[in-house]
Amino acid sequence: MTKKSALNEAEGTRPASGINPGAAQRVRSSRKKEIVIEELTREILAGNKRALSQGITLIESRQPLHGEKAAALVENCLPYANKSIRIGITGVPGVGKSTFIEAFGTFLADHGKKVAVLAVDPTSSVTGGSILGDKTRMETLVNHENAFIRPSPSGDSLGGVAKTTRETIILCEAAGFDTLLIETVGVGQSETTVHSMTDFFLLLKLAGAGDELQGIKRGIMEMADAIVINKADGENLKPAEKARSEFRRALHLYPAKESGWTPKVLLTSATEKTGIKEVWQLIVEYEQLVKETGHFSQKRQNQNKFWLLQTINEHLKNRFYQDPEIKKLLPKQLEAIEKNETTPFEAAALLLSKYRD
Ligand code: GDP
């Protein structure tokens, strides 16, 4: 037997690195991955907020390896998710969302609810900042043992934020949070996005002078399960009461909701903490009704189906636009349209025919 023989045992003790240097490394890292994710899952299920934060950071990461880990974590948590009420909260900047969430969330947390506050903020990708970023505005809630606050990830598209928020919801629920408050500013499609991932949708409004319905975005009234007129205190109380009547009248004009629920109008003062309990009572009433009729789970199922299709659409769209051939041809077709050399449909047909999956 020569030393060079493949049967030589002495040589055979080190083949792993010789034959495939990356293999041992991969085995090691995959073992490490398993341990980390299993451990993280356990900690999250035990309600460890630090682990929950770590898990969310993993979800928000764009590193491919993190993506794998995040998917495993979400999958581990999924069987423990779902047991919550997801409440969407929207309103223009300055309406008092942070102050309201601080008051409402603290009320719930004081009553033994486990409250997680998340945000969907497409503007953060432009400004680099984020709503909820200024946690000092939620001082009591942020330090409450029953609460968890997570600002919106910045530097992402609405589609990206939507995906991470959906997954974050799963992690929060697995960690035992039973009341989720998901805040958004009324920018672009962000309200529709939040509406399609929540059970109850709350619109915060202010009483203004004159026509209350002016400036209200199309479609938002149909989405709202409750309109809450905030800052109903001091001199603002009377105008707020007037606004309430006006909104009530307006809501009557809309067709009945599929859920059988009639949207309600309430008054709050987030700073004086009035009307807060009533908002919660209303949500409890809603939950009872839609759970009785089966609409609650039906709606969640529809949302899941919607997000499945949405995810596929996003994925296909991205693949198409990132295709090197398309990247080359698209500007040319746009130019051809400018010069009236082609029609949009002809150009689209050409581009699609050139796209190779
Ligand atoms: P956001 O931009 O919607 O999150 O609004 P904020 O919560 O930051 O509130 C904007 C301003 O309105 C702050 O100065 C708050 O103190 C004030 N504010 C919020 N809620 C109320 C309220 O119920 N009554 C009064 N008088 N002021 C409020």
Please report, for the domain that includes residue 48, its CATH number.
1.20.5.170
Last residue of a domain, one of 76, 102, 128: 76
Averaged pLDDT of the chain: 85
Q: Check if 48 has its Cβ closer than 6 Å to any atom of ligand 1.
A: no
Looking at the structure, do residues 44 and 162 belong to the same domain, yes or no?
Answer: no
Looking at the structure, do residues 260 and 210 belong to the same domain, yes or no?
Answer: yes
pLDDT at 69 over 70: yes
How many other C-beta atoms lie within 10 A of the C-beta of residue 312? 10
Looking at the structure, do residues 47 and 138 belong to the same domain, yes or no?
Answer: no
Q: If we measure between CA atoms, which residue out of 174, 210, 182 comes closest to residue 198?
A: 182
Looking at the structure, do residues 173 and 107 belong to the same domain, yes or no?
Answer: yes
pLDDT digits (tens, 9 = 90+) for 198-256: 999 999 999 874 555 666 666 788 899 999 999 999 999 999 999 999 999 888 888 88
Cα angle 47, 52, 57; round to 5:
180
Last residue of a domain, one of 76, 109, 141: 76
Q: Is residue 213 situated within a structural domain?
A: yes
Looking at the structure, do residues 134 and 272 belong to the same domain, yes or no?
Answer: yes
Of 6-20, 103-117, 134-148, which has the strongest mean pLDDT? 103-117
Looking at the structure, do residues 103 and 60 belong to the same domain, yes or no?
Answer: no
Domain extent at residue 59: 35-76
Query: Considering the entire predicted model, what is its pTM?
Result: 0.83
The distance of Cα 175 from the centroid of its chain, to the nearest Å, equals 17
Looking at the structure, do residues 149 and 221 belong to the same domain, yes or no?
Answer: yes
Confidence at residue 224, expressed as pLDDT on a 0 to 100 scale: 92
Looking at the structure, do residues 326 and 190 belong to the same domain, yes or no?
Answer: no
- For residue 308, which amino acid is it? L
Separation of 94 CA from ligand 1 center, angstroms? 6
Confidence at residue 136, expressed as pLDDT on a 0 to 100 scale: 57
Looking at the structure, do residues 187 and 311 belong to the same domain, yes or no?
Answer: no
Q: Check if 93 has its Cβ closer than 6 Å to any atom of ligand 1.
A: yes
pLDDT digits (tens, 9 = 90+) for 43-58: 999 999 999 999 999 9
Domain count, the chain: 3
pLDDT at 292 over 90: yes
Q: Measured between alpha carbons, how far is 166 from 146 in angstroms, rounded to an integer?
A: 21
CB 49, CB 175: distance < 8 Å: yes
Q: Check if 91 has its Cβ closer than 6 Å to any atom of ligand 1.
A: yes
Confidence at residue 25, expressed as pLDDT on a 0 to 100 scale: 54
Kindly report the protein residue whose alpha carbon is nearest to atom 26 of ligand 1. 231
DSSP per-residue string spanning 111-168: TT--EEEEEE-TTHHHHS--TT--GGGGHHHHT-TTEEE-PPPSS--HHHHHHHHHHH
The CATH number that applies at residue 179 is: 3.40.50.300
* % the chain with pLDDT above 90: 59
Identify which of 271, 274, 279 to mutate to test ligand 1's pocket (most ligand atoms within 8 A of the CB).
271
Kindly report the protein residue whose alpha carbon is nearest to atom 20 of ligand 1. 96
Looking at the structure, do residues 152 and 278 belong to the same domain, yes or no?
Answer: yes
Looking at the structure, do residues 191 and 246 belong to the same domain, yes or no?
Answer: yes
Looking at the structure, do residues 234 and 331 belong to the same domain, yes or no?
Answer: no
pLDDT digits (tens, 9 = 90+) for 13-30: 344 444 455 555 554 555
